[in-house]
Chains A and B, each alone.
Chain A
Amino acid sequence: MPAQVVVLGGGVGGTLVANLLDKSLGRDVHVTVVDSTGMHHYQPGYLYVALGEAKGHWLTREERTLLRNHVDLAIEEAVRIHPDAGTVQLRRGGSLPWDYLVIATGARLVPDLIPGLAEGSFEFYSLPGAERLAQALRGFDGGSIKIGIAGIPYKCPPAPVEFTMMVDGYLRRRGLRDRSEVELLSPLNRAFTIESASKLIQPIMDQRGIGLTTFFNVESVDPSAHIVESLEGEKQEYDLLVLVPPHEGAEVIKASDMGDVSGWLPTDRTTLQVAGCERVFALGDATDLPISKSGSTAHFEAPVIASRIASLVNGTAPKTNYGGRVMCFLETGDGKATSLRFDYEHPPIPPQPNRAWHVAKWLFNRLYWETVPHGRLPERAPFTTPKEVAS
């Protein structure tokens, strides 16, 4: 009798873990991915849509085309998880039994948590949002563009910094930079959370006349007065406001009483098991771990979970732990980029932004569909930690 594995969520993590389990366990496992839309989105592309550099259709594919033949796909909404009973209840009725559960339900945007945000600002964290922002930029004729963060944690910490650097280039190309102001409202005391990367980026921002306000955590927006206010008690005026909206875990988590106040799952940092549930694993954005909510995190976590479930199925000792590996690109807007590669033991040592990393990111974006969800990217560089700190 094959082990039943249910994977909630058909994003990068869910798709990859399902494929890896099917590949390694074959007839010993039956994997079902449950996804409410059956569509897989390449979210890193939204940044480019917002800046008019890409179209949305390239960023979406049917999940069914990314899953191995023997992996089932249930295009359903999971409404409640029953860890003790080992079932997942579905919106349209019925439930799926599981021996092992992988929760890869991601992070959702909750704009209404911030008064005035939906009406007064733009975002590029959803495809419709990115398209709306692209349209606003097309109609922009000079003025102040301010970029800020309205909730923590959020997906892809580099993204607002990338947008800031790239919109500067966008305005230059349109001949609008001289009559515009670009300002990054950072929640911290520097441009970017990773200090070594911030040290590379801040001089570039200074050179280009991009402003930086520190310790600005957005608390509210006044759409009619065009004012954004921080919880630290400061106000700023804007003509075009781009905010990272608040994020929460999927609704099914709260409905199942499994997450914290924001719906993030309490997860072990190395085994990726959900607290108190030996047979339930959390993957990617859905966890409460204070690590990057990034596709690469899910990409590196998936093989660990697949291996651990395989060990449980086979009754053998688990062999792999998640070591905190993350790999992110950071575009600096002038045809250059840097990269952030780190894990729990090794802090990042980002190189000076250069053309090669921009080419690497460009290539990665284009080859994503053929490689990542299928597990076709080798484990090695550029996803290894810097050579200088390799043990």
Chain B
Amino acid sequence: MADDTFSLILFSGTDDKLHAAAVLAVGAAAMGRPVNVFLQYWALDAFRDDRVRKDHGVAPEAGEDGARAVIEQQNTTHWIELFEQAKDIGEVTINACAESMELLSITADDLHPVVDGVWGVARFFMEAGDGATFI
């Protein structure tokens, strides 16, 4: 991908972090930067088609008020919709980490259609821009 590619590695699978990641992806796409999202571990698990809309909880720091705010945010626009919408805005690709798939016994068919493919870590580094953001 191009030099100004925005590479985002998603590890955490809580709704607040996934929403934050989705907004970052939208923003980068809006600025014309190709976006490369790489799903690992619990983020990958959250992208299972049958689990996407389930409650993934929030980070411990959220507290009761924070958790409520996040749930309200989800009801307005769910993070999965933001990722889908980001693809209309710009060049956004979302790939599942092959090693995480193996660890969690997930197959490609289990994943939400917004996921474009499966990459090994090596492939990710080839496609990543100058550094990546880890959430």
Direct contact of A and B (CB under 8 A): yes
Complex: A235 Cα to B30 Cα, angstroms: 43
Complex: A185 Cα to B43 Cα, angstroms: 48
Looking at the complex, which one of B23, B33, B89 makes contact with A357 (CB distance below 8 Å)? B89
Query: Does B133 count as interface, using CB distance less than 8 angstroms?
Result: no
Q: Contacts A359-B23, A380-B91 hold; do A371 and B31 have CB atoms under 8 A apart?
A: yes
Interface string of B52-63 (1 = CB under 8 A from A): 000000000000
Complex: A360 Cα to B25 Cα, angstroms: 10
A363-378: which residues lie under 8 A (CB-CB) from chain B?
363-364, 367, 371, 377-378
Interface string of B62-86 (1 = CB under 8 A from A): 0000000000000011000110011
Query: Does A356 count as interface, using CB distance less than 8 angstroms?
Result: yes
Query: Does A351 count as interface, using CB distance less than 8 angstroms?
Result: yes
Complex interface: chain A residues within 8 A of B77 (CB)? 354-356
Looking at the complex, which one of B27, B85, B90 makes contact with A381 (CB distance below 8 Å)? B90
Report the minimal beta-carbon distance from B20 to chain A, rounded to whole angstroms: 12
* Cβ contact within 8 Å between A351 and B33: no
Complex interface: chain A residues within 8 A of B34 (CB)? 380
* Cβ contact within 8 Å between A382 and B76: no
Query: Does B113 count as interface, using CB distance less than 8 angstroms?
Result: no
Query: Does B88 count as interface, using CB distance less than 8 angstroms?
Result: yes
Complex: A356 Cα to B92 Cα, angstroms: 13
Query: Does B29 count as interface, using CB distance less than 8 angstroms?
Result: yes
* Cβ contact within 8 Å between B81 and A354: yes
* Cβ contact within 8 Å between A360 and B81: no
Query: Does B117 count as interface, using CB distance less than 8 angstroms?
Result: no
* Cβ contact within 8 Å between A378 and B30: no
Complex: A281 Cα to B22 Cα, angstroms: 42
A245-297: which residues lie under 8 A (CB-CB) from chain B?
none
* Cβ contact within 8 Å between A357 and B32: no
Complex interface: chain B residues within 8 A of A354 (CB)? 77, 81, 85
Q: Contacts A355-B77, A359-B26 hold; do A382 and B89 have CB atoms under 8 A apart?
A: yes
**Interface size of B by Cβ–Cβ distance < 8 Å?**
20
Q: Contacts A351-B85, A356-B89, A357-B85 hold; do A381 and B4 have CB atoms under 8 A apart?
A: no
* Cβ contact within 8 Å between B89 and A378: no
Task: Name the residue of chain A whose CB is nearest to the CB of B34.
Answer: A380
**Interface size of A by Cβ–Cβ distance < 8 Å?**
21
Looking at the complex, which one of A335, A355, A361, A380 makes contact with B85 (CB distance below 8 Å)? A355
Q: Contacts A360-B26, A360-B27 hold; do A379 and B85 have CB atoms under 8 A apart?
A: no
Looking at the complex, which one of A335, A360, A377, A379 makes contact with B89 (CB distance below 8 Å)? A360
Query: Does A383 count as interface, using CB distance less than 8 angstroms?
Result: yes
Complex interface: chain B residues within 8 A of A356 (CB)? 26, 77, 81-82, 85-86, 88-89
Q: Contacts A335-B76, A355-B81, A360-B27 hold; do A380 and B88 have CB atoms under 8 A apart?
A: no
Report the minimal beta-carbon distance from B33 to chain A, rounded to whole angstroms: 7
B11-37: which residues lie under 8 A (CB-CB) from chain A?
23, 26-27, 29-34
Complex interface: chain B residues within 8 A of A361 (CB)? 30
Interface string of A73-91 (1 = CB under 8 A from B): 0000000000000000000
Report the minimal beta-carbon distance from A102 to chain B, rounded to whole angstroms: 25
Complex interface: chain A residues within 8 A of B89 (CB)? 339, 356-357, 360, 381-382
Instruction: Give the interface of B toward A (CB within 8 A).
Output: 4, 23, 26-27, 29-34, 76-77, 81-82, 85-86, 88-91
24 A-B pairs within 8 Å (CB atoms) are namely A335-B76, A339-B89, A351-B85, A351-B88, A354-B77, A355-B81, A356-B77, A356-B81, A356-B82, A356-B89, A359-B26, A359-B27, A360-B26, A360-B29, A363-B26, A363-B27, A363-B30, A367-B31, A371-B31, A378-B4, A378-B31, A378-B32, A379-B32, A382-B89
- Extra pairs beyond A355-B77, A356-B26, A382-B90 (12, CB < 8 Å): A354-B81, A354-B85, A355-B85, A356-B81, A360-B30, A363-B26, A363-B30, A377-B31, A377-B32, A378-B4, A382-B29, A382-B30
| CB-CB nearest 3 A-B residue pairs | A356-B85, A360-B30, A381-B90
